[in-house]
Structure formats: C-alpha cells, structure tokens
C-alpha cells in the first residue's frame, strides 16, 4: 500500500472509530506527512518499504536541524502509533517502529502568570468591554472562562449553549479521548458570560446566514475558531513578557497553579483539568514550590 494512502486511512480511523480530538488528528497528520515526504526523497513510497533504520535516520535529521526534543518525542509517538495501528489492521506484517525511541523531552515548567498579572489582563479587557461592543464583551467572557475553569481551548470552543448550566455555574466539556467532564466556574466568569449572552452573542449571531448552537461565536456569527482565541489571548499576554509560548494554554496553567497555591489538592485539580495521569498534574506543584522559594528569598531577612 502507498504510504500516503495508509496515512489517509489511519487519520480517518483516528477521527472516526477511535474518537480522537480534532487537534490530535491534525497533529498526527502533520507529523506523518513530514515522514512521508522524507521517505519519498529516500525512494520509499510504500509503507512496506519503511524500516527501522529509515525511521532512525528521519529522527536524526530532525535533531541535526535543531528540532526541540519535545517536538521529536511527539513526532515519534505519532509514527509509533501509526505503524502499530497499521500492524493491528493487517496493512503491514511487521511493525518497523516498535523499537523506535526518541529523546526524553525536557521537563520544563510551564509559563505561568501571577495572580496579579491575570487580574491586570482581565481588568484591562473589562475596561474595553464597557463600551458594549460585541467582540470585547465576548473576549472578556472567553478569558474569564479559560482562567476560571482551566479548560483547553478546543474544549471551550466546542461548547454549545446546552453545555452551560448557568444556575450551577458549570460547563459540560468533551475532553481528550471523547471523555466528558463537568467543570465549575466562578462569579466573575458568570457575570462576563451572562453579559456576553445578553448583549454580544445576539449581535454576532445576526451576522450569520443561519443560527448556530455554539456558545462562542466569531466575528461573522459562526463558531469561533481556536486560532482566533489563540491570537486574542496572546495579545493580552504580550503585556507580560516571559519565556515560553503565549496562548490559551497559559491560562490553563495559571488556573492549575493558582488552585494549588490556594490549597486545592492534586486530585481535585486533576479532575478539573481532565488529566488522565496524576503525574501530569504534579508538574504544577513544582511551579507552586518555585513561587514559594522565590517569595522566601525576597521576603525573609536571612534567606
């Protein structure tokens, strides 16, 4: 079978029967398309022609070109999953990626703004929203919900109106692996959301050709996209320069860290964020400890 044909079949299964998140499927597709282009340059156009040495060369070239260990690890995982699935479905008889290994990604602490920085961002956006323009009112609701609930951007933009319980202040989100969970949000987010639903959403929906069930609408009245949310949040974060990527995930990091700073237990934060593994949630304890140590160094006379 042609390698590109096998990749097409794999991504269709990933999006369909396996129920992977669209962002995961797109990431898999991008990584596998890179592999296919590399193999084509080496004369291997069929999936049966790909062997372990060719895969190792692919990783080595990426390392030489300066790809980050985390990127290589992600691409390796995509390739291993692709060939394992191809073996299970009988497309190939032998899995060439079974012994493929990648560098262990560095355990870097996530970029996390302080409580004061988050408050400043939200206050500045609230001032912009006071004029009643639909987009700033919507943007404030987005920022408040991201920080209040700790949801992923894909989970947020996937919400429909029926997924919000305004009485209980909860959101019913569909997370990774199509796992559903209910997450709470607080009073400031509730106020921003209520104002958006009353004032801004009707204005945005009127711009669409047909009504949408989506909770959050874009400038043209359709469901807002992840890129638009990412751009908006990155613009707000630009006022607080720091190392690491800037986008909606930063507010997820902030929500988790500030919860732990405030005394929440790990299990609660794990359930809120929808982490399958406690080890993923434990990263945020390191951020809290570093904050504690920094506060000690600054404040204690004999630090």
Query: In the annotation, is 179 catalytic?
Result: no
Residues 6+ apart with CB under 8 A from 102: 59, 69, 72, 73, 75, 76, 77
Query: In the annotation, is 176 catalytic?
Result: yes
Confidence check: pLDDT of 245 > 90: no
Confidence check: pLDDT of 134 > 90: yes
Q: Return residue ranges of the chain for CATH 1.10.443.10.
A: 115-298
Kindly report, residue by residue over 64-94, the tens digit of the pLDDT. 787 888 888 888 988 999 999 999 999 999 9
Kindly provide the b/e burial profile for residues 204-235, where b requires at least 16 CB atoms within 10 angstroms of the residue's own CB. Answer: bbeeeeeebebbbbbeebbbbebeebbebbee
H-state helical runs in the chain? 3-15, 22-41, 52-64, 69-88, 115-129, 134-149, 153-157, 187-195, 201-205, 226-237, 248-261, 266-273, 278-299
The Cα–Cα gap between 164 and 154 comes to: 16
CATH number of 3-88: 1.10.150
Catalytic residue among 181, 230, 249, 291: 249
Supply angle C-alpha 27, 179, 281, rounded to 5: 75
Please give the residue that has the higher pLDDT: either 155 or 110.
Answer: 155
With a threshold of 0.85, does the pTM exceed it?
no
pLDDT at 241 (0 to 100) = 65
pLDDT at 234 (0 to 100) = 86
Confidence check: pLDDT of 117 > 80: yes
Kindly report, residue by residue over 15-74, the tens digit of the pLDDT. 776 666 777 788 889 999 999 998 988 888 899 999 988 898 888 888 878 788 888 888
Query: In the annotation, is 284 catalytic?
Result: yes
Catalytic residue among 75, 152, 195, 236: 152
For domain 115-298, the CATH superfamily is: Intergrase catalytic core (1.10.443.10)
Catalytic residue among 34, 176, 230, 283: 176
Share of the chain above pLDDT 70, in %: 87
Query: In the annotation, is 253 catalytic?
Result: no
Query: In the annotation, is 252 catalytic?
Result: yes
Q: Return residue ranges of the chain for CATH 1.10.150.
A: 3-88
Catalytic residue among 80, 252, 253, 258: 252
């Amino acid at each position: 079978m042609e390698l590109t044909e096998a990749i097409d079949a794999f991504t269709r299964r990933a999006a369909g029967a396996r129920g992977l998140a669209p962002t995961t499927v797109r990431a898999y597709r991008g990584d596998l398309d890179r592999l296919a282009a590399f193999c084509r340059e080496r004369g291997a156009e069929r999936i049966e022609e790909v062997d372990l040495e060719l895969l190792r060369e692919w990783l080595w070239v990426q390392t030489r070109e300066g790809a980050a260990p985390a990127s290589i690890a992600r691409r390796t995982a995509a390739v291993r999953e692709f060939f394992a699935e191809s073996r299970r479905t009988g497309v190939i008889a032998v899995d060439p990626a079974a012994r493929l290994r990648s560098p262990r990604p560095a355990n870097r602490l996530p970029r996390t703004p302080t409580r004061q920085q988050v408050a400043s961002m939200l206050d500045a956006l609230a001032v912009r929203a006071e004029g009643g323009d639909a987009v700033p009112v919507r943007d404030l609701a987005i920022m408040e919900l991201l920080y209040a609930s700790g949801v992923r951007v894909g989970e947020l933009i996937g919400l429909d109106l029926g997924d919000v319980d305004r009485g209980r202040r909860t959101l019913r989100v569909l997370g990774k692996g199509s796992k559903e969970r209910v997450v709470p949000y607080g009073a400031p987010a509730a106020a921003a959301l209520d104002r958006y639903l009353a004032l801004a959403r009707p204005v945005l929906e009127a711009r669409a050709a047909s009504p949408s069930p989506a909770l959050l609408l874009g400038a043209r009245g359709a469901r807002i996209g992840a890129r638009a949310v990412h751009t908006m949040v990155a613009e707000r974060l630009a006022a607080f320069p720091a190392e690491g990527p800037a986008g909606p995930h930063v507010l997820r990091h902030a929500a988790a860290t500030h919860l732990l700073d405030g005394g929440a237990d790990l299990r609660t934060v794990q359930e809120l964020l929808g982490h399958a593994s406690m080890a993923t949630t434990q990263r945020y304890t390191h951020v809290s400890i570093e904050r504690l140590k920094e506060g000690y160094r600054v404040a204690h006379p004999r630090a």
